[in-house]
Structure formats: C-alpha cells, structure tokens
Amino acid sequence: MEKDLVDKIRLDKSGSFEELVKFYQEQVLNTCFRFVDNKEDAEDLAQDVFVEVYNSIDSFRGDVKLSSWIYRIAVNKSLDFVRKKKRKKRFAFVLSFAGFGDEEKELQLPAPANPHTDLEQKERTQILNKAIDLLPENQKIAITLSKYESFSNKEIAEIMETSVSAVDSLIHRAKNNLQKKLHIFYEKHL
Amino acid sequence: MTRKEEIEKEVQKTLESFNQAERLKSNPFFYTQLKNRIDNLSRPKRKTTGWEFAWGVLKSVLLLLIIALNIFSATLFFKTRSSNYSNREQMLNALAEELTLDSNQYNPNLLINE
C-alpha cells in the first residue's frame, strides 16, 4: 500500500499527496508536540515536515517504511528546533550556569502550592516532561516515541536508524534515569 | 505510610502520566495551508531586470568609491601634516607666526602689570 502511494505521489503529486498528509498529519503533529511542548510550534513543524516530504519523495528509496521515514523527518526537525531554542536561551543567559553536564542535571520545578494535597494531573505531566527533557537526547527520543506515541521498538529503531536491541537498552536506561530524577525531585518537594 | 513509600507513590503516579497525555487534534485547514506554502515555494521567483541589476552594481561601486576617497584624503592629510611639522614645537611656532603672536602677547602677567 505504501509503495503504491509513493509511486502515485511521484507520478501525480497533488491528489495522492493530500491522501498522505491526511493519513499522517495527526501523528506527525503529536510527535512534534512531544518534543517542542507547544501547539503552535508543533503545527509549524508539522508543516515543515510535509514540505520536506513533498520535496524529497523522489529520493525516498523504500528501504524503510514510509511512515518511519516521515516520523524520522519529524523527530529531526523537532530536535533541531529545540536545539536552536536552547542555543538562543543560552546566548541570552550567557553568564548563567546552563549547559553543565546534562546527565546529572537536577529536576527543578516550583514546589507544589500545598505539598500535602495531591498534585494535579497537569502538574504531574509538566514534571514528567521536564524530567524527560533532562535525559540524554537518544533516551529522550526513544522513551517519547515509545511511551507517548506508542511506537513499537522496531518502528523506533527504524526512525532512529539503530537496532532494536539498542532501542530496548535506551528505553530501559531512560526509565531508570526518570525514576532517579523524580525521586530526587519529590524528596525535596514533598 | 512512610515518607519513602509516599515518594515512591508520587513517582509512580507521575510516570503513569504517559498514559494520560493530551493529544492534539490537527487543524482542519492544515492541508490548505500546507498546499499554499508548497505552491509559494514552487512558484518561480521573479527574475531581476537588467536595470535593477545595474543599479545594484552601481550602488556597491559608489559605496566603495566613497570609502576609498575617504581613506585617500585621510592619508594625504596626515602625511602633509607630519612632513610640514617634524615636531610639536615647530608646529606651535608656525602657528604663532601665522597669528602674529610674540611671547609678550600671551603672557597674562604683562597685562596685569599694565
């Protein structure tokens, strides 16, 4: 089915391309959103992804699934965006301590208003996202695609251009690191 | 419940947020906006006319000419000044002569005595 779609797009870009966009747009949008954490930025990035798909569909060799190829573009574009944003921030606060040893960075969030009451779900998600943001890039990609977007480890391996065992290990390490970071956070704020 | 258990419970609850994450719905005009963008990108860019190109070149040449003239006149000015007056004293004497001043005329004590 995918091969037919690619062939159709190569022959007649307009009609079949619309079909492709409508099929993948939501998943691409959400994949971008997981990394940039902002709806407007995610929409812009999703558009960039499909512009690139449109321009380079002729160079798609078909050695991976079309979906993996599209999500790979989405992940790369999102990470580039995040890197640029961080660079801008670092430049603005050039004298701050930003950028020291990502691995050991501690999760810092404002303490909950009332530590004795249950944290709101939204706040929990925010804490989790901040903790994911502190993970090394590969672990961050693997855990985000696996847990938020429910991609299989095989699909993640295709997107990340690595082996399935490497993805298993990345997810395992990401989970451990997340637990550690969250423990430290709650020890301080509970 | 001990503090350790409480922390563990919070960590687990936070990790469960993976399953409750908000999912975005795509904008109904997504494809229309995308199509416009692609059409704009693939539209051939308007070629610059010969006059526009010539004016662009002329502007750059004029700018370079002004810079070169400035450098030339500055070099000439400093060169003339340093060759005419080898030291500060010579220059002051020359200025005094030009303004017909002698040592009495700029001695303020003489004015007071008078």
The string of pLDDT tens digits covering residues A141-162 is 999 999 999 999 999 999 999 9
pLDDT at residue B109, rounded to an integer: 58
Q: Please tell me the distance from the alpha carbon of residue A122 to that of residue A128, in angstroms, as a whole number.
A: 10
Please give, rounded to a whole number of angstroms, the shortest distance from the CA of B46 to a CA of chain A: 21
Decide if A190 touches B, using CB distance below 8 A: yes
- Nearby residues of A82 by Cβ (< 8 Å), 6 or more positions away: A35, A36
pTM greater than 0.80 (yes/no): no
Residue A117 has pLDDT above 50, yes or no: no
Q: C-alpha distances in angstroms, A10 versus A57, A163, B16, B42?
A: 7, 30, 43, 16
Asked if residues A182 and B15 have their Cβ atoms less than 8 Å apart, the reply is yes
Residue B49 has pLDDT above 80, yes or no: no
What is the percent of chain A where pLDDT is above 90?
59
- Chain B positions touching A128 (Cβ under 8 A) are 14-15, 17-18
B61-71 residues labelled b (16+ CB within 10 A) or e (exposed): eeeeeeeeeee
> Is ipTM strictly over 0.90?
no
The answer to whether the CB atoms of A119 and B24 lie below 8 A apart is no
Please give, rounded to a whole number of angstroms, the shortest distance from the CA of B9 to a CA of chain A: 10
The one-letter amino acid code at B38 reads: I
What's the whole-number average pLDDT of chain A? Answer: 85
| Alpha helices per DSSP H over chain A | 2-11, 13-36, 39-56, 66-92, 121-133, 137-143, 153-160, 164-189
A126-145 residues labelled b (16+ CB within 10 A) or e (exposed): bbbebbbebbeebbbbbbbb
- Chain B positions touching A21 (Cβ under 8 A) are 30-31, 34
Decide if B34 touches A, using CB distance below 8 A: yes
- Chain A positions touching B27 (Cβ under 8 A) are 43
Q: Please tell me the distance from the alpha carbon of residue A32 to that of residue A76, in angstroms, as a whole number.
A: 9
Angle formed at CA A105 by CA A102 and CA A110, multiple of 5 degrees = 135
Residue A116 pLDDT level (bands cut at 50, 70, 90): very low
Residue B50 pLDDT level (bands cut at 50, 70, 90): confident
pLDDT tens for A9-55 read: 777 666 788 989 999 999 999 999 999 989 999 999 999 999 999 99
Q: Please tell me the distance from the alpha carbon of residue A39 to that of residue A143, in angstroms, as a whole number.
A: 20
Read off the pLDDT of each residue in B12-32 and give the average, rounded to a whole number. Answer: 90
Nearest CA in chain A to B34: A47
Within 10 angstroms of residue A153's Cβ, the number of other Cβ atoms is 18
Angle formed at CA B45 by CA B40 and CA B50, multiple of 5 degrees = 160
Residue B78 pLDDT level (bands cut at 50, 70, 90): confident
Nearest CA in chain A to B41: A51
What is the percent of chain A where pLDDT is above 70?
83
The one-letter amino acid code at A22 reads: K
